[in-house]
Structure 1
């Protein structure tokens, strides 16, 4: 599998965000093991240190826990914790910018919902 990395954001952060998204989407479930550092490094052709940094961020956020000799596992309650954090982040940083753009473009709620339904 080939991954296209954004040159403006460190790869370890992008990898961290990808794991967060996979947990939120239910592709990695509570209690499930993350792929090993070596496996991810080989699959994406990354330095293992890069993968380790991303995994350390997941441990620092208390979303995964290390089980000695087995690897990293998604902690119970991690999807809920991630969802709460991501919602708060969205509402504080992204949503105000979206609202400004909607206002600047003079879009109505009806236009937004109609367009949203057409694109589903």
Structure 2
């Protein structure tokens, strides 16, 4: 995994875990990799993964079963989607609107580009 310098590594790992849950790679009530397993996979310190897991537990995305490991919380994917949509609308879109205004890009241009993007994915 390539980490960037704009966000704490434990948050980037949390995003990675959330991506796996949203993509249904890790399903509800399914065991996820242990702290050590994920640390080896991502080539990071186990303490960093532990911090990510604690963060995700506080967000009610994962839970622990004593002696068994970490599991995906029921409805975690829906919660992640809701949180990410809220963040996108409140943080990312205002920046996009500002750039659109500076570059004199019309909403219709954006819509056309988005439709082309969707058609290419299908």
Match of residue 112 from structure 2: 114
Match of residue 92 from structure 1: 90
In 2, the alpha carbon distance for the partners of 1:45 and 1:12 equals: 12
- Give secondary structure in 2 for the equivalent of 1:6: coil
Equivalent of 1:81 in 79, 82, 98: 79
TM superposition outliers: structure 1 runs of 4+ over 4 Å? none
Q: What 5-or-longer segments of structure 1 have no aligned partner?
A: none
- If the length of structure 2 is used for normalisation, what is the TM-score? 0.86
Match of residue 26 from structure 1: 24
In 1, the alpha carbon distance for the partners of 2:61 and 2:108 equals: 39
Aligned residues: 118
Match of residue 101 from structure 2: 103
- Give secondary structure in 2 for the equivalent of 1:65: strand
- If the length of structure 1 is used for normalisation, what is the TM-score? 0.88
Deviates more, 1:105-114 or 1:54-63: 105-114
Match of residue 60 from structure 1: 58
Residue by residue, what CA displacement relative to the aligned partner does 1:58-100 show, whole Å, maximum 9, x if unpaired?
1011111101121111111111111111111111111111111
CA positional deviation for 1:10: 2.1
In 2, the alpha carbon distance for the partners of 1:8 and 1:95 equals: 18
